[in-house]
């Protein structure tokens, strides 16, 4: 792997494929496209190498996600549905992108989420088509079966703490006591129910796409990687993409792609690159002072995200992770991890080891609510929530109806775009959210927690009526950091579809987008796994290979 400096434009070679952004999707693409030595591939990343201890040690993820060097650090516009609050919108910056700073929770989504993609016009992206690519991407510690992969690049496993801390089994037991079911593998046949959560961790170390796809490809002479290099725009010759214009410090250069440019800059980055290139909605480009090259009204629209609420309790027994949340405790955790107990130490897990997928309403055709249980009372921003011991449930309504948008406000690639999620903009969303809080409380009040349950710290007993809950939600919901769907695939009759089902930008030649922006709708789960899956399948499409399908049509998921 050559880390090329962009100092002298004349020194930059031509490539067959130029991949923009080395994130969850970009590293997969660079690796798969360069497997054939005849393909010359360039991967361009705005950030640096992102391989510090904070990135590698799973338990340090809240430090990684709050580290300014590893993060674009975006903020939403004032959100009308959240009393005008601006929410943090972190995005990974560096090799691995968001897979280098995320919480490592491994969730594929429900099979029906992908069948929904196909219904929305993304032909060939139903669950039967996606399943083999989820399998190709992973090495599941439990071994391969009809649903799981056994020898793919990204390592997936359940945590070890489930057996050590009685609060995790208490959470699962409380779910059963509240009348819900159990699932043995939420990424297998049955998503719905209570059970162990899974994570992308290999032998106690974060399993990012940089580590698992890019690192093993570094010896290839046909793959170059440029770091600390920002793509300003795609170069268009008429309707054909011919390369990209890049910036590094004060230097500028152009890179030619003789076969294709593939944007993998993420749900914020990819629509912004397109808009700066003159591809997008006319009003957005006019407002930003960018000349229109190709009108595509859907670029940056259809923005979807997951919100998250934390329902937090004091714990009567001194068995939570709050006991380690002090400088001495954290140093001890880091030292144990460094000294080789990586596989089985408190540093080697993200601590989200139990969870649930539920329906907000029994009439819903598939689960739309996700819960993770954490045996600690903490905030994501790194601040300790309170003194003493506590535990909390992170609950989310995962099929929101609200839609937002991303719009550049200037041609400057370093300027933050307007990111308006329009959270709770659809009246149904608040209704589902209320139900999330009530469901969580019912579960946490079951006998399984009687030995542990102290006061409800948040929302707190005073938040009781629908109006109280609505007000609390508007003031306290935070992003779960899943922006997506801003360059969606869709059918020929959908004028807001940015891409066809081959990930090609509509109306242009030799230009594709492959990342979380291309989802037609947001799945019921976290987004790293489906983004990697999308990149795996798109690599086959780009290379003209026959795409895989699961051998059978029926019985691929439980309803």
For residues 433, 435, 440, 446, the Cα torsion angle rounded to the nearest 10 degrees is 170
**3-state SS record for 388-411:** CCEEEEEEEECCCCCCEEEECCCC
**By three-state DSSP, how is residue 164 classified?**
coil
Of 125, 247, 250, 149, the C-alpha closest to 198 is 149
Give the residue with the Cβ less far from ligand FAD, 394 or 453.
394
Q: How far is the CB of 37 from ligand FAD (least distance, A)?
A: 25
Supply the minimum distance, in Å, between the C-beta of residue 345 and ligand FAD. Answer: 20
How many of the other CB atoms lie within 10 Å of CB of 36? 12
Q: Which is nearer to ligand FAD, 113 or 435 (CB)?
A: 113
Q: Which of 294, 351, 389, 482 is catalytic?
A: 482
Question: Measured from the CB atom, is 223 or 315 closer to ligand FAD?
Answer: 223
**Phi–psi pair at 199, nearest 5 degrees:** -140, 160
Given a contact cutoff of 8 angstroms between Cβ atoms, the answer to whether 489 and 121 are in contact is yes
Over the Cα atoms of the chain, what is R_g?
23
Q: Which residue from 138, 136, 66, 128 is spatially nearest to 107, judged by alpha carbons?
A: 138
Beta 294-295 vs 279-280: how paired, if at all?
parallel
User: Cis bond leading into 222, ω under 30°?
Assistant: no
Q: Which is closer to ligand FAD, CB of 170 or CB of 265? A: 265
Sequence-distant contacts of 237-241: CB under 8 A, at least 24 apart: 239/294, 239/507, 239/508, 239/509, 240/508, 240/509, 240/510, 241/508, 241/509, 241/510, 241/511
Cβ nearer to ligand FAD, comparing 274 with 430: 274
**Can you give the binding site for ligand FAD, defined by CB under 6 A?**
20-26, 44-47, 65, 90-93, 97-99, 101-105, 230-231, 264-267, 269, 273, 413, 481-482, 515-516, 526-529, 531
Whole-number Å distance between alpha carbons of 81 and 227: 38
CA nearest 353: which of 391, 314, 305, 399?
391
Contact 120, 490 (CB under 8 A): yes
- What is the smallest separation between the CB atom of 427 and ligand FAD, expressed in angstroms? 27
Shortest Å distance, C-beta 557 to ligand FAD: 19
Return the number of other C-beta atoms located less than 10 Å from residue 325's C-beta.
15
CB of 231 to ligand FAD, least distance (A): 4
Dihedral Cα 221, 227, 232, 237, nearest 10 deg:
0
Closest approach of ligand FAD to the CB of residue 355, in Å: 11
The residue whose Cβ lies closest to ligand FAD is 23
Q: Which one-letter DSSP state was computed for residue 206?
A: E
CB of 293 to ligand FAD, least distance (A): 17
482 is catalytic: yes
What is the sign, positive or negative, of the torsion defined by CA atoms of 202, 204, 210, 215? negative
**Distance from C-alpha of 353 to C-alpha of 319, rounded to nearest angstrom:** 15
User: In the bound complex, what is the minimum distance in angstroms from residue 264's beta carbon to ligand FAD?
Assistant: 6
- Catalytically annotated residues: 482
């Amino acid at each position: 792997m050559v880390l090329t400096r962009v100092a002298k434009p004349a020194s930059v070679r031509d490539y067959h494929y130029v991949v923009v952004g080395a994130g969850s999707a970009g590293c997969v693409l660079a690796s798969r496209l360069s497997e054939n030595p005849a393909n010359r591939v360039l991967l361009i990343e705005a950030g640096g190498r992102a391989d510090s201890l904070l990135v590698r040690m799973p338990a340090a993820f809240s430090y990684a996600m709050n580290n300014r060097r590893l993060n674009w650090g975006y903020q939403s516009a004032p959100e009308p549905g959240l009393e005008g609050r601006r929410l943090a919108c972190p995005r990974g910056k560096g090799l691995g992108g968001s897979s280098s700073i995320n919480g490592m929770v491994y969730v594929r989504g429900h099979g029906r989420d992908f069948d929904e993609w196909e219904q929305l016009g993304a032909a060939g992206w139903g669950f039967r088509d996606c399943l083999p690519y989820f399998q190709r991407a992973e090495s599941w510690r439990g071994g391969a079966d009809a649903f799981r992969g056994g020898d793919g690049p990204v390592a997936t496993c359940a945590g070890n703490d489930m057996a050590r801390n009685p609060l995790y089994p208490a959470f699962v037991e409380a779910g059963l006591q509240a009348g819900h079911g159990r699932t043995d593998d939420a990424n297998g046949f049955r998503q719905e129910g209570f059970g162990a959560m899974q994570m992308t961790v290999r032998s106690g170390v974060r399993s990012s796409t940089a580590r698992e796809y890019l690192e093993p490809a570094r010896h290839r002479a046909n793959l170059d990687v440029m770091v600390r290099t920002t793509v300003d725009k795609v170069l268009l010759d008429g309707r054909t993409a011919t390369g990209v214009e890049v910036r590094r410090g004060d230097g500028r250069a152009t890179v030619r792609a003789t076969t294709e440019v593939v944007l993998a800059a993420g749900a914020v980055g990819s629509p912004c690159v397109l808009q700066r290139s003159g591809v997008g909605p006319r009003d957005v480009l006019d407002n930003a002072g960018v000349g229109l090259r190709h009108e595509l009204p859907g670029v940056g629209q259809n923005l979807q995200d997951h919100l998250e609420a934390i329902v937090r309790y004091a714990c009567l027994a001194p068995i939570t992770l709050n006991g380690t949340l002090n400088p001495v405790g954290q140093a001890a955790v880091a030292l144990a991890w460094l000294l080789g107990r990586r596989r089985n130490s408190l540093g080697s897990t993200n601590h989200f080891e139990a969870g649930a997928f539920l329906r907000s309403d029994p009439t819903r055709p598939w689960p739309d609510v996700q819960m993770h249980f954490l045996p600690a009372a903490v905030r994501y921003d790194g601040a300790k929530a309170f003194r003493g011991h506590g535990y909390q449930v992170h609950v989310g309504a995962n099929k929101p109806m609200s839609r937002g948008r991303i719009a550049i406000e200037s041609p400057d690639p370093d300027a933050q775009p307007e990111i308006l999620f329009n959270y709770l903009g659809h009246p149904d969303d608040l209704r589902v959210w209320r139900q999330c809080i009530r469901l969580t409380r019912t579960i946490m009040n079951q006998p399984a927690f009687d030995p542990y349950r102290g006061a409800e710290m948040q929302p707190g007993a005073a938040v009781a009526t629908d109006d109280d809950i609505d007000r609390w939600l508007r003031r306290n919901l935070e992003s779960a950091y899943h922006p997506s769907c801003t360059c969606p695939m869709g059918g020929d009759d959908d004028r807001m579809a940015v891409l066809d089902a081959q990930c090609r930008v509509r109306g242009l030649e030799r230009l594709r987008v492959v990342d979380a922006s291309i989802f037609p709708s947001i799945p019921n789960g976290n987004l790293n796994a489906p983004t990697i899956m999308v990149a795996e399948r798109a690599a086959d499409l780009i290379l003209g290979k026959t795409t895989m399908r699961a051998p059978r049509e029926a019985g691929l998921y439980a309803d």
